[in-house]
């Protein structure tokens, strides 16, 4: 098992063939974490801030308004004090997750990128990296697992890809998994993975119990199965989706299932940005 560690803002260490890679974040200021599910229409973009670091998981679509006139994520990131993105985690290269990358990078430099090597051949990604003139040396390919360490939080990345790539719906099920934790506050994000991927990985995420779960694939009925919910045991579930989207996300079955498990749910289409603050007793919703 290859384990990559990403140290932000310090030299990358521990790189050797077949071993691992480490990305370290070293700035220190505010140890309290803030996790924000940005309202980006039909797509995902989640901002995690801690110790003055900005980690962005996905970038939403290029245009967040139906008029397709503006990329509102630029204004949104400014609102949360983002001046640069220390690490950008790409779950998978669908445009509702990477469409906002170029506009973001043009305004707030993306210093490092972590993603699944199964997507090395993605034409869309290659085009975007070329347009961004992005240096390959700042891209971290998470072959198996990755660890990102800030002074206060550890972020685990899990690549479920080998089993799914080249199979039906492989891109969604190859979504990189992210687990954010400081021992008190925790969250799990799985991109657009379906329950096939959730169940396959269930033994690898034994310690991923979390306060917050982002519903897989915007609340599709093919994600967020009961066994996965019992493993994560979230207090909160977040649906990142566009208002009146044509996919019927989130599916009523998943909303119902959340209620049955007594999980509080939030939706970006109705509530806009969803903000959680870390506290000594876990992440708490911050209206
Ligand atoms: Zn998606």
Q: Give the tens place of pLDDT for each residue, 102-143.
A: 999 999 999 999 999 989 989 999 999 999 999 999 999 999
Q: What is the pLDDT of residue 168?
A: 55
> Quick one: what percent of the chain has pLDDT higher than 70?
86
pLDDT band, residue 151 (cuts 50/70/90):
confident
pTM as predicted: 0.90
DSSP letter assigned to residue 198? H
Residues with CB under 5 A from ligand 1 (ion): 96, 192
Q: What is the pLDDT of residue 72?
A: 76
Tell me the CA–centroid distance for residue 191 and ligand 1, in Å: 7
Which residue bears the tokens 């932000």?
8
Measured at the CA of 8, the angle between CA 6 and CA 11, to 5 degrees, comes to 85
Q: What is the CATH number of domain 3-285?
A: 3.60.15.10
Tell me the CA–centroid distance for residue 95 and ligand 1, in Å: 8
User: Which among 202, 286, 200 has a CA at the least distance from the CA of 236?
Assistant: 286
For residue 150, pLDDT over 70 is answered with yes
Give the pLDDT confidence of 24-49 residue by residue, as tens digits: 443 434 567 999 999 999 999 999 99
Segment 64-67 long-range contacts (CB within 8 Å, at least 24 positions apart):
64/39, 64/40, 64/100, 65/41, 66/41
For residue 22, pLDDT over 80 is answered with no
Give the pLDDT confidence of 60-98 residue by residue, as tens digits: 998 765 554 456 788 889 889 999 999 999 999 999 999
pLDDT band, residue 169 (cuts 50/70/90):
low
Give the pLDDT confidence of 178-207 residue by residue, as tens digits: 999 999 999 999 999 999 999 999 999 999
Q: What is the pLDDT of residue 18?
A: 36
Looking at residues 216-241, what average pLDDT do you find? 97
Tell me the CA–centroid distance for residue 60 and ligand 1, in Å: 8
Q: In this structure, what token pair is assigned to residue 73?
A: 């994520």
Tell me the CA–centroid distance for residue 256 and ligand 1, in Å: 21
């Amino acid at each position: 098992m290859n384990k990559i560690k990403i140290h932000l803002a310090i030299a990358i260490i521990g790189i050797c063939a077949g071993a691992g890679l480490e990305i370290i974040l070293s700035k220190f200021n505010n140890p309290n974490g803030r996790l924000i599910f940005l309202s980006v229409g039909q797509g995902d973009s989640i901002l995690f801030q801690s110790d003055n670091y900005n980690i962005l998981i996905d970038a939403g679509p290029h245009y967040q308004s139906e008029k397709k006139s503006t990329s509102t994520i630029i204004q949104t990131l400014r609102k949360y004090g983002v001046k640069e993105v220390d690490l950008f985690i790409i779950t998978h290269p669908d445009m509702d997750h990477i469409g906002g990358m170029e506009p973001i990078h043009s305004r707030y430099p993306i210093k490092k990128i972590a993603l699944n090597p199964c997507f090395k051949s993605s034409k869309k990604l290659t085009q975007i990296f070329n347009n961004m003139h992005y240096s390959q040396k700042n891209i971290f390919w998470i072959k198996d697992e990755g660890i990102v360490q800030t002074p206060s939080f550890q972020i685990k990345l899990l690549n479920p890809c080998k089993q799914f790539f080249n199979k039906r719906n492989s891109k969604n099920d190859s979504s990189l998994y992210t687990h954010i934790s400081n021992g008190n506050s925790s969250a799990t994000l799985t991109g657009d993975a379906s329950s096939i991927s959730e169940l396959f990985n269930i033994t690898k995420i034994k310690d991923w119990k979390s306060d917050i779960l982002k519903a897989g694939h915007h609340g599709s009925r093919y994600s967020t199965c009961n066994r996965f919910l019992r493993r994560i045991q979230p207090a909160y579930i977040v649906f990142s989706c566009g208002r009146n989207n044509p996919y019927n996300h989130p599916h009523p079955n998943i909303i119902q299932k959340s209620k049955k498990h007594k999980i509080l749910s939030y939706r970006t289409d109705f509530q806009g940005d969803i903000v959680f603050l870390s506290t000594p007793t876990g992440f708490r919703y911050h209206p």
